[in-house]
Structure 1
Amino acid sequence: MTQPLRDIVVIDLSQIYNGPYATYLMALGGATVIKVEPPGGEPLRRRGAVGGAALPFAMLNGSKDSLVLDLKTEAGRDAMKALAATADVIVENFAPGVMDRLGIGWDVLSAANPRLIYASSSGFGRDGPYAAYPAMDLTIQAMGGVMHTTGFPDRPPVKAGPAMADFFAGIHLYGAITTALFDRERTGTARRVEVSMQDAVYASLSSSLGMHWATQGASPSRTGNRHGGLAESPYNVYPAADGWVAIICVGEIHWKSLCRVMGRPDLADDPRFSSLKSRVAHMDLIDETLSEWTRRHPKAELFDAMMAGKVPCAPVRTLDEVMHDPNMHARGALQWQDHPELGRIVIQQTPFRFDGMPLIDVEPSHPLGADTARVLGERLGLDAEQIARLIPAPA
């Protein structure tokens, strides 16, 4: 089976999380991805010298070629222009204007290669009043409302644990690129596409925005582990004898099933809990009643009982438990990899599944610049002397 992105060539100038995740998904879709880094490597690779930051680089840059170019030199920029002329897509997530100042922005590269899709991602977009603001996942969570809606109402706002702004943007960037490729096949026109991190997170605020609109801002913006719109009950994280368990009932069937599992059929007949509206009105009592029951049982026992009763529930699991998740490993979503620099690690596969098409084996991330000579020779036809002049001397 041919992979859906077979023969697509991607020049990847992106760094840290959002761009590299988009191009990683493309690599596992069959694209040839050439990761171009400055001398010394991109920031995430350099962070690897400090503890566990080496793992994220390996997780996001497998199955990519590694090429080093110094874009601050004329020779490096010329090589980039030549590479872009042979590619289908170029991806960058520098601050807006950086590529133009280097002389290798959209206008220059698209003139040299009219079939080139130029994809960029930034914190706030390239054309709004926030364009020049520096952006990281933390600052986007703050500006984008994520922190305001995360945490408990009587405590300060907190960030979401995962780097959600980066990865939401990365997923949207992948979607924009593949949509542009589809459009190019239909129309012959290659477009510039961009994704703003701020734009990418807004839709995730839906529940909180709904409550804010309905109450004219009177309801708390932070609801802890309760539903963001305070529109479901039970919906919370409850104490178990050995940890925590998340329980949600989204309909009468779930609620009645939960009452049976608890051995409390009387609750199903209690007028205070007879409808979703009345359960939401008595949310504190619901949570207190469930907590009294759950704290007497281990989380595995609670989970098994509720799965048997078809009640949506899950134990709150540790990172180690998630890394060894039997379902994800059985499906190939997580895989063990013997990495030449890091040893035996767990890496994620693409979440995309195409019927009848096997997953691509993920190559370990390459050492910095490992493919520079080969890529420049094969793609640009440079000889050994020309390549030697382009490869930066070790720092």
Structure 2
Amino acid sequence: MAGELPLAGIRVLDLTQIYNGPYATFLMAMAGAEVIKVEPIGGEYLRRRDASSGAAMPFAMLNACKDSISLNLKSARGRELFLELVDTADVVAENYSPGVMDRLDLGWETLSARNPRLIVASGSGYGQDGAYQDMMAMDLTVQAMSGLMSVTGNADGPPMKSGAAVCDFGGGIHMYGAIMTALFERERTGRGSRIDIAMLDSVLMTMASNIGMLFGARKDIPLRTGNRHGGLSLCPYSVYPTSDGHIAVICNAERHWAALARCMGREELATDPRTLTNRERVTNMDFVDTTISAFTATRTTEELAAMLRAARVPSAPVRDLPDVLADEALHERGLLVRVEHPDFGTVSLPRSPIRLGGDARQADYRVSPAYARDNGRIYGELGYDGGAVEKLQESGVI
């Protein structure tokens, strides 16, 4: 299978940690690249989180299909060993704080001089230069700095973070895209390139509706709109109560609204002057939402989901995560896979969402590696036999 995959033959030295960078290299591994996770002595930080609380599961999710070696980059011998690995690599990916690689004397100038075809991808919160480069960055703080938090929550409530780590993974997705772009460019030029991906930069476009309303004629739109449209320019667009949960409904076209009106037994709303077009519905948003809520609250989520789906009204039940992970449709599609993990038992984990050729043509799923599992093989490929590897370990280099 690996020989048929698009990134077969590409070697990645993965210095990334936590969520941001590891997702980019996970996508590469699933596309067939050989991803060697280069971990500090003791293992990557995320690996060391408390497994009993589930906090270690993200490591398993993000590091499937990778190999693991240990290496002390702070030691002179460790740096030399890393440069030997660089000679064999196509990509180095890292998301240390800006400046760390330079302080290790492993920055772009050093690495590109060693291997001119090398692509060096750096992920960070605010970029490798600029006024914010030295600010500590986590998903939460970038949500705050980017404005994302200011547009999340109810109009009369405080700013809220997103329930998902959108900045971390937004940065990871853009890093993956940038690496693919650089690999394509290398095919033309024969030279590698330096990549600088900032989480803050990556998340701004997700607020297109919110940014758009800043330049509109209306000046009464609150920053936070709860479950309503970010620019309050589409109605209905919200999450409505059911007798046993919630359902999300949106009407992008007048035919959607007419179909919803028929489902509610309120056909007259399709021609009512208050709700005739989206413009009128936006003006009378409270009336629209109250009317829909009164209808949905009397029926179960499952009943409504089936009814609205049959009527071609854009909608979906609000599902809990256990239901999503058990969804057989997602397993059949290949997004989710059931695996036997040595640390977690039988679990359902996501594969790459990238489908090429119309199917899930990806690497055979391998669970996340044990720490330093591949030291012998990978250092052996550099010419270090078992005795030499043992000496490196005894001296604290690996």
Q: TM-score range by the shorter chain?
A: over 0.9
Give 1:263 shift.
1.2
Change (3 A) 1:133 1:50: farther
Cα shift readout 1:148-195 (whole Å, capped 9, x = no counterpart): 000001000100000000000000000000100000001112100111
Distance 1:394 1:97 in 2: 22
Alignment of structure 1 residues 123-202 onto 2, 5 Å: 123-202=125-204
Distance 2:197 2:301 in 1: 41
From 323, 345, 348, the equivalent of 1:346 is 348
Q: Identity across aligned pairs (percent)?
A: 51
Q: AA paired with 1:146?
A: L
8 A Cα contact 1:19 1:93, kept in partner: yes
Alignment of structure 1 residues 229-378 onto 2, 5 Å: 229-355=231-357, 358-378=361-381
Structure 1 length-normalised TM: 0.97
Structure 2 length-normalised TM: 0.96
Q: AA paired with 1:100?
A: D
Give 1:85 shift.
1.2
2:35 maps to what in 1?
Answer: 33
From 219, 222, 236, the equivalent of 2:221 is 219
Cα shift readout 1:5-49 (whole Å, capped 9, x = no counterpart): 010000000000010000000001010000011111111101144
Cα shift readout 1:58-115 (whole Å, capped 9, x = no counterpart): 0000110000001111111111111011100000000000011011111111111111
Q: Which runs of 4+ in 1 moved over 3 A?
A: 215-218, 392-395
Distance 2:176 2:279 in 1: 40
Q: AA paired with 2:31?
A: G
Give 1:117 shift.
0.4
Query: Which stretch shows the higher mean deviation, 345-354 or 148-157?
Result: 345-354
1:81 maps to what in 2?
Answer: 83
Q: AA paired with 2:108?
A: W
Q: AA paired with 2:378?
A: V
8 A Cα contact 2:261 2:269, kept in partner: yes
Task: Report the count of equivalent residues.
Answer: 394
8 A Cα contact 2:72 2:397, kept in partner: no
Distance 1:394 1:348 in 2: 34
8 A Cα contact 2:121 2:196, kept in partner: yes
Distance 1:377 1:197 in 2: 37
Gap runs ≥5 in structure 2: none
Work out whether 1:110 is the aligned partner of 2:103.
no
Change (3 A) 1:239 1:117: same
Please state whether the residue corresponding to 1:338 is helix, strand or coil: strand
Distance 1:91 1:115 in 2: 14
